[in-house]
Structure 1
Amino acid sequence: MLLPLVACLTLSACIIRIRQVEVEPVRSTDGVRVESPVKAHLLDGTTVVFASGVTVRGDTLLGAGQRYDLRLRPTGAVARLPLDDVAGMENFRTGINVPASVALSVPATALGVVGTGAVLKAIFGSCPTFYSGGEAEWTLEAEGFSYS
């Protein structure tokens, strides 16, 4: 009964997902629209999050944004933000590198299965143990030994 539980925990714990950061330059044309969520880090240390994306028009960011202070407490809504106030911007897209994730998850799972077997062998040994009894109580009767 313990073995299936250990096997399930081992197999579910060995999934590795690989994510990476990709830097994409923004064209300097007028009216660039970024559809994904954007964080604008300002020179004064605050952050503005444009959850529905932002439009860069000239020297201004346009969009429905929420400003956060240094302790990440919301301090008010922002509709326009001059680029002169922005230290840096980042946008978010969720993506998983499937080949790398599979390449790491398969050997990690195999290692987990082998490790689980080694731990169970170390704990319980190779000798079978015989019990008798019923639903309420089990009694150790004997340990079988093999000389082969």
Structure 2
Amino acid sequence: MTDTRLTDIELTTLDGNPTTLAELADGAALVVNVASKCGLTPQYSALEKLAQDYGDRGLTVIGVPCNQFMGQEPGGAEEIQTFCSTTYGVTFPLLAKTDVNGPGRHPLFTELTKAADAEGEAGDVQWNFEKFLVAPGGEVIKRFRPRTEPDAQEVVEAIEAVLPR
């Protein structure tokens, strides 16, 4: 058990404002490390659909831009925001560009990467678009690897299981 609750870890929004998961998400959160120039970037569309379909039931999708995987998120905050909103219609919150692995790993990902995936593997984020489902209250419920589409049956079922009926 850690001294800092996952929901209380200090975060910074893409536009530079301090926040926490508790402030961003009243209920469950799907935290995803994202990138604008990745083969998996079209997942933004399905992430936005999840945000729209389940937002009223308490899900907040949170995108975390990361440039650690072959430099696939090279832009600055304004460029990232413009790309996400104009190309994919993203309305869900985006955080400041963040390291998810290595010595500069953000404390949020230090905690998230303790969760194991379906094969029982925890540890480093493998690539862009790795997804962590956080239940209301801050417990990491599920971890989905990058190639698992946001609208895959196992993701949708996990989201529905943590949301109020």
Using structure 2 for the length normalisation, give the TM-score.
0.16
Q: Which structure has the greater CA radius of gyration? A: 1
Structure in which a larger fraction of residues adopt strand:
1
Using structure 1 for the length normalisation, give the TM-score.
0.17
Greater relative contact order: 1 or 2 (C-alpha under 8 angstroms, separation 6 or more)?
Answer: 2
